[in-house]
Copies of this chain bind each other. A is one copy, B any other.
Amino acid sequence: MIEYRNLRVALLGGGSVGAQVARLLLEQKDELASRVGAGLELIGIAVRDVDAERTVDLPRELFTTDAESLILGADVVIELIGGIEPARSYILLAINSGADVVTANKALLAAHGPELFEAADKVGAQLNYEAAVAGAIPIVRPLRDSLAGDQVNRILGIVNGTTNFILDRMDTEGSSLEEALAVATELGYAEADPTADIGGYDAAQKAALLASLAFHTTVPLESVYREGITKVTAQQIESARKAGFVIKLLAICERLVHPETGVEGVSARVYPAFVHRSHPLASVHGANNAVFVEAEAAGSLMFYGAGAGGVQTASAVLGDLVSLARRHVVGGPGFAASNHADLPVFEIGSVTTRYAITLEVTDEPGVLATIASVFSDHGVSLAQVEQSMTPASTGTASHEAVPSTATLVIGTHEATEAALAATVASLAANSVVTNVASVLRVEGA
């Protein structure tokens, strides 16, 4: 049997994921060597401060602040710094100096993926990124390889654990968003600045990566429509529950035909949506993630697991590392980004979906007919309407008669975002509507 020399592995970043990757590389040295057919030698960990406290006890001599020298001496570079710079420059340096790269950096890939994949392709380097897409859930290889002979039509993903924890808690405990966020922060599920999570930015980056993979088309981050969960109220969750739904922040990647031009294209978008309780995604609780894939031949598939966490994400990083190292040993190139399909990426206005709209209206004869005609004027047809009385405001100290109001919860059939936006604008301007309380999409039918 041929003996291969050890592969020199450089780690950039010593945070929660980096420390776990280092620990597993050291602890499972022999097992990993037998899987790869060559040793994986951790030659160093580049950090900003070698004396910073780590979550795992690691040999001090591994740490260095000189990332560039470390990269230049490595066969494989694992980038776990996050953010755009210096991560981007380090990865390019690694690729151009002949190393292969593993990264978990979704922000960087969503913003600069094409540049990095092109650089890797040019020199035949491998660039693996399983941990960037859905944490520990294996989704890159299933989409890229297992479904390589199929056509993905739609992906509905719960790809952000923080927001799923918050929405799940609001649903199960009846908490407000603020209360649920406070618990998430206390339990370590939310960061001090939760904007990236609750604003939907993290999910949008993952949507761009998932759509690019699924549709063999470069989907830039700028073309991903994004709404976070900041406007989701306890009342919306309650009314979703009454109607048999749960509200989830979804990353949606869809193959569709443009409603006006008839051109085939794709859409990627992130927003909180109604999901029926019978849908498999409705049972994804806590900080877990899941990616629901609808494929032409395979039908519906779901991939479920932990979306984040240091040791869980380290599993995906090591899987990438072992796959890539095996290629070193057995030869043959890795697999570059697949973008041969190159479909147009549509804006949100061209997307068709269903809506759940909650209106507060004056309670007088003819209101329902007025509302219904606003919808039909914009070509949006109604699937169901539920009306409930709202107690008149108790804030009025006067004894004058206050007009009583009613709450209408309206479910529509499929309509374009454009038609819906026009409908909502008309509703808001109509004198019988006192408040457009909530507009949410319905997905996963």
Contact = CB atoms under 8 A, between A and B. Distances in A.
Interface string A406-429: 000000000000000000000000
Given A149-B321, A330-B333, A332-B332, 16 more contacts: A28-B149, A32-B149, A34-B341, A35-B148, A35-B149, A35-B338, A138-B141, A138-B145, A145-B322, A149-B315, A297-B314, A298-B316, A299-B309, A301-B303, A302-B302, A330-B335
Interface in A281-309: 283, 295-306, 309
A323 to B, nearest CB: 5
Most buried by B among A136, A150, A295, A311: A150
A326 B335 contact: yes
A304 B315 CA distance: 20
Contacts of A315: 147, 149-150, 295-299
A299 B287 CA distance: 13
Contacts of A314: 297
A299 B141 CA distance: 18
Interface of A: 20, 24, 28, 31-32, 34-35, 130, 136-138, 140-142, 145-151, 216, 280, 283, 295-306, 309, 311-312, 314-323, 326-327, 330-333, 335, 338, 340-341
A327 B332 contact: yes
Contacts of A300: 305-306
Contact of A318 (B297, B299, B304, B309): B297
A32 B136 CA distance: 29
27 contacts: A31-B341, A35-B149, A35-B216, A136-B297, A138-B145, A141-B142, A141-B145, A147-B315, A148-B318, A148-B319, A148-B322, A149-B317, A149-B319, A149-B321, A280-B283, A297-B312, A298-B306, A298-B312, A299-B315, A301-B306, A302-B304, A303-B303, A326-B335, A330-B333, A330-B335, A331-B331, A331-B332
A290 B77 CA distance: 35
A146 B314 CA distance: 11
Contacts of A318: 148-150, 297
Given A35-B216, A297-B311, A145 B306 contact: no
A32 B151 CA distance: 10
A140 B321 CA distance: 18
Nearest to A288: B300
A309 B305 CA distance: 26
B150 A146 contact: no
A333 B335 contact: no
Contacts of A304: 280, 301-304
Contact of A147 (B216, B299, B319): B319
A297 B20 contact: yes
Given A35-B340, A146-B141, A322-B149, A305 B316 contact: no
